[in-house]
Structure 1
Amino acid sequence: MSESTAVLPPFHLAFPVHSIASAREFYGDLLGCSEGRSAEDWVDFNFYGHQIVAHLAPEECGHRKTSAVDGDAVPVRHFGVVLSMAQWEAAADKLKAAGLQFIIEPHIRFKGEVGEQATMFFLDPSGNALELKAFANIASLFAK
């Protein structure tokens, strides 16, 4: 299999939250992530086929620094997923309709350049930054 057609293994990411209940509302109800195992101080979510785990750790929450990328102040610490363009557009529409406040509104970055991509950034209730992105041509994901 070539890298572009390979089935990728799911990643695992653990991150801090200030409230398990608000994490469930945000990741489960708003983003539509199904819930896996949980305990009093952590909960697993299925994030587009990847395992993300919200751990109760209020003192660790929130992003603190940004970096300039194509004119945007991108949170240095963030996570997200690369979607198909149709999935990205549906997510953008859903999040806008829900009244989510974006820290970087859905738009196209690097227009006309290698790596042109749709992107949006927003914060979860604990201040963790998420990015959803998509490429019209997924082959340009790692293009230079």
Structure 2
Amino acid sequence: MSLSPFHLAIPVYDLPAARHFYGEVFGLKEGRSDTQWVDFDFFGHQLVIHEHGKTADQEHARANPVDGHDVPVPHFGIVLNWEQWEALAARLKSFGTKFVIEPYIRFQGQVGEQATMFFLDPCGNALEFKAFKDMSQLFAK
């Protein structure tokens, strides 16, 4: 499957802290930038952090119950391969990242077996990263 890169722009109320998180903690390569925004290579996609006042979602976290966890809404992320996901989980843990939902395996031994984790950037934007044991089951029921 060949996908076109997506472009996602998100608000951050502390540009230096967000720049450090995405660049240093997350390890993303920085692209173009200006005084109020920074581009990052987000696993081949374009993520732009824009300096902006706190949004309602950042101020008052919302969640939906999923598998006994409170999943933050909205959230975004990437589906990685299993090894990339494990490496990212280890990297985030090594930087002391506080997880909203600790890395764990869903549907173990079933169709759609997947690894997932949720965490927040320094400005309260929620991220989820997944990996599937069998990527062909990404949309399997």
Aligned counterparts of 1:59 and 1:125: Cα–Cα separation in 2 = 12
Report Cα offsets for 1:87-126 as digits up to 9, x if no partner. 0001111111111110100000122332221000000000
Consecutive unaligned residues of structure 2, counting only runs of 5 or more, are none
Amino acid of the structure 1 residue aligned with 2:26: L
Amino acid of the structure 2 residue aligned with 1:42: W
Aligned counterparts of 1:23 and 1:65: Cα–Cα separation in 2 = 21
2:22 maps to 27
1:41 maps to 36
Alignment partner of 1:127 out of 119, 124, 127: 124
Aligned counterparts of 2:98 and 2:85: Cα–Cα separation in 1 = 17
Consecutive unaligned residues of structure 1, counting only runs of 5 or more, are 1-5
The answer to whether the aligner puts 1:73 opposite 2:70 as a matched pair is yes
Q: Which runs of 4+ in 1 moved over 3 A?
A: none
Report the secondary structure of 2:61's partner residue.
Answer: coil
TM-score, reference length from structure 1 = 0.92
**What is the CA RMSD across the aligned residues, in angstroms?**
1.2
- Number of paired residues? 139
Aligned counterparts of 1:15 and 1:64: Cα–Cα separation in 2 = 16
Amino acid of the structure 1 residue aligned with 2:14: S
Q: Alignment identity in percent?
A: 58
